[in-house]
Structure 1
């Protein structure tokens, strides 16, 4: 695999800093164009729980014990109902028959009188004529049931604690995998993705997966165990009624399957729309000032409203359709309850069942439909979570950078050689072909040319942000593709056109170039790059905290801080990409002195249009369409009267007059 696997167009070279990609989800395939592959994604999500199998086994064991103790409760409570009814019947019968009459004599008397229905009903009732309600027996039954329910609750709490721990450890590992994956993704991936879309996958989607596993794992496990336990008890009490109750299962499965299939597409679209909306919001607020300047608030608001409306439609449709499951399941459960109550009553009347067993069975029938209803109600949450998991898996499956080699760099003198280098962002649009270049140690190499000529691409290849299609780049005698990227980049310092400052103090931002630098070294770098001149005008000096957008310092001051950062890093190779584009002309003259000191003894590559950073270069490369069309120093190129001469005439002659006039004054 190589870093060029997620290309951009040849005339749309990647830039550093926040950049809008072709669109959210572009290149990722899937979520918006077709329904999520629910089964595959669910199995993969469940496979992430395998490292927690010990905890899951404990949780299942606790669940089995909790459910087993809970489901026998209604059966035992049915015994209490039978004791109470037996006491009532025994007292009534005792008032109508002589003392000492047995239960069998009472039944035989009813049969002799032709009251067969009453005789059948009393035959299964354990009563003694003349004796009342056995409150001691009922109390014992209630204490047993209470003990069972308390123990069931305790096992359930242990199960929840263990299961939640397993789920959270799984999500913790998933976040680690995503974080590590982001470090392994090529620059081209981020060129193709809107930043808000990537952030949505890393934050919103993982949070949704966490919430789904947290809520569904425990409920789903308990529901399945409850379903099995209740079914066993129902067949134990009455196989006939149990078969009647099972009629609701295929109905529930059909309803859940039909509704779930329709809502899954909407949940996939829902999370895709969430990512697109986040991307649009992030872009709008990052460029808030620019939106204000050009008066595009209405367009931004209209775009937000459009994407918000798409998210509303997808979210409403998904929740509404999946929400239908609950009412339908309640209807199925209620119909099932009515049928069981009618058949149970007839069996009590016929003497084939005790009323306590019917009471227990009716309770079981409600408990039987309850887990079915819970599973159905979790369908929308599970579908939403799996749709999010699929988006996370797409990120984890994105093609990575090529593997890090095991080579090492020796002492770098700074000789850079491009040998027959070929490169393209897309295979059908070659950008650089057979490029050869030698930069001697300590040379300053300026690269000029029109937009899209390949100037920044050249230094991107040197930094190994992208891998080559052909040829090689040598640092002294070492092919840079044979050494780890981190080691290669540790020898290089870079100052970009798009300034990047982190939330923190000015001192911390300068020290980012070398975290172990002393206070004296930080001050030296700041003074050499003229940061010291404006820092003293700030209330907190070097302890001034720069906000996230760097809005409390000017663009030129931010650029100076980034230059100071590179100065402190003391790299062997220096890359300046329009590094002075944000400073005024007078400040630029001061910075050039610092740049001269910074470039001293280093091989430097300077991408610039402004004459002040080009005229004193040892070697100037003129690029067009990915090729070096001219090279030489400033005077040599002017004498050739070629492409550089034309650029000079169109861009630089006026700038020279202005700079020379300022220097003379």
Structure 2
């Protein structure tokens, strides 16, 4: 067993905590069911050979001899053969009860284990790094948390205990058959090694086929999830046919891989059934010949035929068991890949200082990939209550800079301090509770407007929600909705416009009352008048240190300090009045926007 397989089994074993005894009980019930099922043929053999015939009852049937004596002896039973029928019925009922308990206990244990795996994976996902989620495919993660867990649950509920049944059956049947007739036992076991070998080959092929099918399923889920999320973009660009063709191609790939898996299973069941019929035919022919020549009793032949049928089913099932085990191992591997991803390390030992908002960058450099710097040698200061505006072309590092403040990423060189404390020495959770971040493309949960705004607080006060909405200049808009603050925004806020979503996200952030606010181009979808109203309300509300990324000079002009980034470097810094006097990027943008504004006003007049 490889170290990777051991880790997968360790994951399964740990997830079964609290349910191992129940699994053991289910396996034991399966063992009792196997034993009871093997008693019925012995009752038939004794009835045929010893009640209807004169053959002595062997050692394997001593318990039947005691029951016959208890019933009044052979003569009484011979004249009351219904007693044998009742015995067979009681054995069948007892076997059914054991199978019922096995099924119930194994299903309950499997459900609990699957629930624990889902909880563990979901908990792990919540603590993975920001960078992991940026690069992960959501559809594939959903498929691993649902389909893969379901595959494991099905294996545990059905096939896992079948392994115990097969082992119990072989352990009990072989000695009993051997004690009845050695020659017939050897004949009965002739095909078993062949079937086991074929099952092992099938297992290897089926595992590879399932892994390919499962990965194709993950790609299909990812494509579907992306298409549903971007349905408005698809329609806006009339790309429906292209998306249909792309999905059809991926769906065709999934179908072909799944069809190959089904074909492998069909081949296995056909070949194993054929081998089983050959085995059964061989036992029948050999047994009939030996019975005709007095080397075997008819009752013993009935026992062998019955035992071979009972034994052959779980042996045939070994291929199915191995196949499902292969599927479960693939699913465990895919789940383990998530659990192997490093989480944000526990930082309980780090500092949780009072945060006021004095920030200093000293020669800060940052890169996502080694050798590809995104920010280089950035230095500036921001005092408590000041507004710092950031301007720069696409890819200049603006968002990366403000993401460092929340430690979504950690810088590789230089120093960032908040109120004199090195940022890397501050607990991430504590830090993020004090930094309010509003993204350019905010995410809305499928809840009401009120619930989305109050998300930052467990029990949001209505007055606080309304006040935050007023500052974000969205209160009047919300009141215009049919249900006001109780209006459902739909999945990802689909019922809101871009500007409305941005303003709801601002209100949501303001509920935290953070001493540091970051607006990552989050006023881009609102008009200039609303932009100005929001900034004015923010200045009047509190003295939070505010970072504001924007491409509007009118938004930037009121900031205490303006940072101009280009190519990851800080090329200009100063106030609006200072920067328009310098020959540089800021002045060129200001001139372009001023000219456009002048032309627009001229056209309106």
TM-score, normalised by the number of residues in structure 1: 0.83
d(CA) in 2 for partners of 1:612 and 1:660?
15
Residues 284 and 305 in structure 2, CA contact (< 8 A), matched pair in contact too: yes
Distance 2:86 2:504 in 1: 76
Question: Is the CA contact (8 Å cut-off) linking 2:200 and 2:319 kept in structure 1?
Answer: no
Q: Does 1:70 align with 2:43?
A: no
Q: List alignment gaps of at least 5 residues for structure 1.
A: 1-35, 90-130
- Cα displacement (A) at 1:341: 1.5
Q: Which residue of 1 aligns with 2:148?
A: 205
**Alignment check: 8 A CA contact 2:202 2:323 kept:** no
- Superimposed CA distance per residue, residues 457-500 of structure 1 (whole angstroms, 9 cap, x where no aligned partner): 11111111112323332211322323332211111112111022
Tell me the distance in 1 between the aligned counterparts of 2:524 and 2:265: 55
Instruction: State how far apart, in whole Å, the 2-side matches of 1:388 and 1:37 are.
Output: 17
C-alpha contact (below 8 Å) 2:358/2:382 kept by paired residues: yes
Deviations 1:66-88 (A, max 9, x none): 2222212212221112246428x
CA–CA distance in 1 between the matches of 2:364 and 2:80?
93
Query: What is the CA distance between 1:658 and its match in structure 2?
Result: 7.2
Deviations 1:325-361 (A, max 9, x none): 1111111111111111222223223333221011101
Change (3 A) 1:353 1:168: same
Alignment of 1:145-164 (within 5 A): 145-164=88-107
How far the C-alpha of 1:210 sits from its partner, in A, is 1.7
Whole-angstrom CA distance in 1 between matches of 2:475 and 2:15? 54
1:372 corresponds to: 315
Q: Which residue of 2 aligns with 1:79?
A: 46
Which deviations, in whole Å up to 9, do the C-alpha atoms of 1:275-304 show, x marking residues without a partner? 111111111111111111111111111110
Distance of 1:302 and 1:319 partners within structure 2: 25
- Measured at CA, do residues 54 and 472 of structure 1 come closer, stay the same or move farther in structure 2, by a change above 3 Å? farther
Q: How far apart, CA to CA, are the structure 1 residues paired with 2:226 and 2:346?
A: 33
Equivalent in the alignment of 1:169: 112
- Residues 461-476 of structure 1: matches in 2 within 5 Å? 461-476=404-419
State the Cα distance separating 1:511 from its structure 2 match: 1.3
RMSD (Å), alpha carbons: 2.6
Residue aligning to 2:172: 229
The CA distance in 2 between the partners of 1:255 and 1:489, in whole Å, is: 58
**Could you give the per-residue CA deviations for residues 482-530 of structure 1, whole angstroms, max 9, x where no partner exists?**
3332211111112111022211221112212333332222222222322
Report the TM-score, using the length of structure 2 for normalisation.
0.90
Specify the alignment match of 2:71 in structure 1: none
- Give matches, 1:503-522, under 5 Å: 503-522=446-465
Match of 2:65 in 1: none
Structure (1 or 2) with the larger CA radius of gyration: 1
- Distance change in 2, residues 1:453/1:504 (3 Å): same
- The equivalent position to 1:653 in structure 2, one of 578, 591, 594, is 594
The offset of 1:441, in angstroms, is 0.9
Is the CA contact (8 Å cut-off) linking 2:450 and 2:486 kept in structure 1? yes
Relative to structure 1, is the Cα distance of residues 377 and 336 closer, same or farther in structure 2, using a 3 angstrom cutoff?
Answer: same
Matched, 1:258 2:224: no
Match in the other structure for 1:627: 569
**Alignment length, in residue pairs?**
585
Q: Hey, what does 1:43 align to over in structure 2?
A: 9
- CA offsets 1:604-644 (integer angstroms, 9 cap, x no match): 11111112221011111111222212211112122221232
Which residue pairs with 1:144 in the alignment? 87
Maintained 8 Å contact 1:491/1:572:
yes
Q: In the alignment, which residue of structure 2 is the partner of 1:535?
A: 478
Whole-angstrom CA distance in 1 between matches of 2:304 and 2:537: 89
- CA, structure 1 residues 302+41, in 2 after alignment: closer, same or farther (shift >3 Å)? farther
Q: Bigger CA drift: 132-141 or 338-347?
A: 132-141
Question: Structure 1 residue 532: deviation in Å?
Answer: 1.9
Point out where structure 2 has 5 or more consecutive residues left out of the alignment.
Answer: 56-73
Contact 1:417–1:475 (Cα < 8 Å) also in 2: yes
Q: Distance in 1 between matches of 2:52 and 2:79?
A: 14
Higher relative contact order (CA 8 A, sep 6+): 1
Q: Does 1:54 align with 2:8?
A: no
Asked whether the equivalents of residues 48 and 170 of structure 1 are also in contact (C-alpha less than 8 Å), the reply is: no
Match of 2:66 in 1: none
SS in 2 for 1:545: coil
Q: What do the CA deviations read for 1:388-421 (whole angstroms, capped 9, x no partner)? A: 2221111111222233242332322101122333
Match of 1:608 among 550, 553, 562: 550
Contact 2:77-2:83 within 8 A present in 1 as well: no
- Contact 1:319–1:380 under 8 Å retained in 2: no
SS of equivalent to 1:425: strand
Greater shift in the superposed pair: 37-46 or 271-280:
37-46
For residue 96 of structure 1, what is the aligned residue in structure 2?
none
User: What's the CA shift string for 1:208-267, capped at 9, x where partnerless?
Assistant: 222232221233332332233222322221222222222222211221122222222221
- Runs of 4+ deviating beyond 6 Å: 658-662
2:546 counterpart of 1:579 = no
Partners of 1:334 and 1:297 in 2: how far apart? 53
Q: What is the distance in 2 between the residues matched to 1:601 and 1:311? A: 57
Q: 1:616 to 1:194 in 2, by over 3 A?
A: same
Q: Distance in 2 between the 1:44 and 1:515 partners?
A: 37
TM-superposed CA distance for 1:314, in Å, is 0.7
CA distance in 2, matches of 1:661, 1:612: 19
Aligned partner (choices 233, 244, 252) of residue 290 of structure 1: 233
Name the counterpart of 2:68: none
1:421/1:436 contact within 8 Å kept:
yes
